[in-house]
Amino acid sequence: MTHVPWWRHAVCYQIYVRSFADSDGDGIGDLAGITDRLPYLAELGVDALWLTPFYRSPQADHGYDVADYRDVDPLFGSLDTFDAMLARAHELGLKMIVDIVPNHSSDQHEWFQAALAAAPGSPERDRYVFRAGRGPDGGKPPNNWQSVFGGPAWTQVDDGQWFLHLFDAGQPDFNWENPAVGDEFESILRFWLDRGVDGFRIDVAHGLAKAPGLPDVEYETLRGADDLSPTGLSAEALAARPYWDQPAVHEVYQRWHRVLRSYEGDRMAIAEAWVPTAEAIARYVRPDELQQAFNFLWLQADWSAAQFRTVLVDTFAAVEPVDASPTWVLANHDVIRAATRYGGGPAGVSRARAAALAMLALPGSAYVYQGDELGLSQVDVAESDRQDPTWRRGGGVGRDGCRIPIPWAGDEPPFGFGPAGSVPWLPQPASVWENLSVASQDDDPDSTLTLYRSALQQRRSLLPHLGDRVTLVDRGDADVFAFARAAATPDQPALVCVVNCGVAAVPVDDLGEPILTSGPGAVSDGELAPDAAGWFRAG
Ligand code: NOJ
C-alpha cells in the first residue's frame, strides 16, 4: 500500500494562543492553558493543531514580530512548558505545527539592534533591507511601497537611512538575498524539529523575495475595493506587487523541503501565500517544495452556490497537476468570522455550520479556526479596546473582532478563559457569549459544538472508504451546491454533500436518509431547508 502522510487528510485546529486559554490569570492565553485544554481538542476529533507565534516578542503584532526565534515569551510560558505541551499533545494523538515568521523579525531582534548600531553599508545592515532615501536630503522613502497595515513601508533611522517593513514598523523585513538569513532559518527550523514539532505554518510565505531594484508600485490603478484578503487587494493588484510571489521564494522552500525530509515522521510545512491564481498557489506545493499551501478561495467567497462551485473547481485545478492535496479554510485570525461574513445573526450561524459540513466532506485537509466549532461571530470591538496594529496604522478597523478570548464556561467574563476575576486582553461580549460557551454547548444535541464533534467523528469513520475524486452534482437548481466524493473502491458507498444557498427548501428525498445534517430541522419531509447542508450516502 502506498504511504499516506498524516497531513494529507488531517483536520487541523488553529489555536490563536493569546485567546485560547489563560492559565495564570494575566488575561493572555498561554501554553499551560493549551495543555489543560488538550483533552477538549482530542475529544473534538481534530488530528492536528497549529499554534500562532509564542516566541519572545514585544507583541507589536501579537507575536508576528519575533525577537528570539528559539525561545518562548514569558507571557506564554517557557521552553519547558512548550515541551510538556507537545509531549501531552502527542500522547493524545495530536500532531502540532508551529508558526514560523521568516519575512520579518521584531525590531527588538538582536540582529536588528546590531543593524541599528552599525553603519550604513555594514554586514549587520545587510541582513535587513536598508536603503538611502529619495530627494535632495534623502528625506523621502526609497520607493512608494505601502505597508499592508497602512502608511509607508519604510521608516527612517537616525543616520538618515530607511528600513523596509511590509507590515508594522516593529517588523523589519529580512534581506533574503543575504545567505546568512537562509542559514539562520534552516537552523531555526532544525531547533523546533529537534524538539519534536510536526511541521510549520509559514507566515507571509510569498513575501520573502523582493523584485530587483525595489521598483515603485502603481497603487492607484490597482487597489481592489472589496477583496477580503488581509492585503486588501484584487488578484490583478496582487500579481503586480514587486514584493509578493517573486520567483526567488521558491529556492527557499526547496531548501526547507530538504530539511523537512531529513527528519522522520512526515514533517510538513504549509504556506500562507496570498497569490492571485491557481497556478501561482500550485508552485508552492510542487513535489520538491512545501507539502501544503492555504487555499484562501473559500474564505473569500460569499454565501453563494455559484461561488462555492468555482472554489471547488479552481482548487482542484491548482493542486491536481502537481499531485498535491487540497486545503480548505473558512476562517482564521486575520479575517471576519464565517458566521458574520455569511450575513450574521441566526442565518449566518446556520450558513457557517452548513459550510463547515461541506468543507469537512472534502478530501484534503481542513483548517478550523478556534471558536468556529462554537459558532462564534465577529465581535464589534470598541475603539478604545482595539489593539491590532492594522487599526493603529490606519489600515481599517483591525482584526481584534475575530480574536476575542474563547468562552469555556460560566455566565460572565472571563467565561473560564482565565481564573475567575481575571480580565481578558480583549473584552468578551457578556450577554451573547453566555450561551455559546463550551460548557453550555457540551450536552446540547443541537449545538454547533455537537455538530463539529459528529462531523469529525463521521469523517474519521468514513475516510477509509472514500477516495479523493470529487465531482460537482447538478441538482437542477442554481442555488444548490452539491458534490459527490467517490468511494475508495467501486463497491463501497460514496458521499454526497448538498448545501442549500437559496431561499426555498429543495427536495433531497431521492438521496435517502441523511447521514448528518447541519442543524435541527435541516431536512424534513424529504426537503433540505435554506441555509442548511446534509451528508448523504450515494449508491
Ligand atoms: C499574517 C498573519 O496571519 C498576520 O496575523 C500577521 O499580522 C502578518 N502575517 C504579518 O506577520
Residues 313-372 have pLDDT tens digits of: 999 988 998 889 899 999 999 999 999 999 999 999 999 999 999 999 999 999 999 999
Average pLDDT for residues 119-142, to the nearest whole number?
A: 97
pLDDT at 393: 81
Percent of the chain with pLDDT over 70: 96
3-class DSSP string for 269-337? EEECCCCCCHHHHHHHCCCCCCCEECCCCHHHCCCCHHHHHHHHHHHHHHHHHHCCCCEEECCCCCCCC
pLDDT at 396: 81
User: What is the CA(64)–ligand 1 centre distance, in A?
Assistant: 6
Is a pLDDT exceeding 50 seen at residue 403?
A: yes
Q: Residue 11 pairs with which residues in a beta bridge?
A: 366
Q: Select from 495, 492, 498, 491 the least CA-distant residue to 532.
A: 498
Global pTM reads: 0.96
User: What is the CA(251)–ligand 1 centre distance, in A?
Assistant: 22
As a whole number of angstroms, the distance between CA 158 and CA 171 comes to: 18
Residues 198-233: pLDDT tens digits?
Answer: 999 999 999 999 999 999 987 765 554 333 344 445
Residues 164-194: pLDDT tens digits?
Answer: 999 999 999 999 999 999 999 999 999 999 9
Q: Hey, which of 104, 107, 204, 244 would you mutate to test ligand 1's pocket, going by the most ligand atoms within 8 Å of its Cβ? A: 204
16 C-beta closer than 6 A to ligand 1: no
Q: Which atom of ligand 1 is nearest to the CA of 168?
A: 10
Retrieve residue 528's grid coordinates. Answer: 433540505
Is a pLDDT exceeding 80 seen at residue 122?
A: yes
pLDDT at 225: 32
Is a pLDDT exceeding 70 seen at residue 64?
A: yes
Q: What is the dihedral of CA 273, 275, 277, 278, to 10 degrees?
A: -10
Residues 93-104: pLDDT tens digits?
Answer: 999 999 999 999
As a whole number of angstroms, the distance between CA 341 and CA 490 comes to: 39
3-state helix, strand, coil in the chain (%, to 5): 35, 20, 50
Is a pLDDT exceeding 90 seen at residue 138?
A: yes
So which residues are the catalytic ones? 203, 272
pLDDT at 228: 33
Is a pLDDT exceeding 70 seen at residue 238?
A: no
User: What is the CA(203)–ligand 1 centre distance, in A?
Assistant: 6
